[in-house]
Amino acid sequence: ASEGPELFTNIAREARDAGFNTKDGIKVKWFLDDLSIDRKDQDSLKNLEAAIKEVKAGHAAATGLGEHALNIALDTLAATMEAQGAAASEAWTYAQSVHCMSQAGKEAISAKFLNNKAGLVTAVQSVMDSPPLLPSSAGQTSVREQCAARVAQ
């Protein structure tokens, strides 16, 4: 996703500031900590491994961790709409204005549904009926992004 290079730069800077040598790279555990991924969370680790393989193969998609970014975004969108009493038919309008969605989520929705707004309505209705399984780090990542956005304002 677009925030990857910034994430690397920030982690490397923090490591150097803490006295670690980053000349040969940085430790994966620092990424896990920054992404709020528990090292025992096998699902999140498998998703991260798949994303790394995609990047190494040169096939990284704009949707970050693939379907997980999309599922998290759809879940956030559906939950926001349900909380406000909105129907799934309003999904595209809400997708453009939901502020609690991650940048990766916004990119995932845009990439998948930009030319298929009816598909977004169907996907949101499906999530409203039966929410997808999400990685355990999804909520933590969302809260971290929301805090960073508010601080940046």
Digit-coded pLDDT (tens) for 46-77: 877 777 777 667 655 443 445 777 888 899 89
Looking at residue 4, its pLDDT comes to: 59
d(CA 50, CA 75): 22
DSSP character at residue 89: G
Whether 121 has a pLDDT exceeding 60, the answer reads: yes
pLDDT at 62: 40
pTM of this structure: 0.54
Contact at 8 Å (CB) between 101 and 77? yes
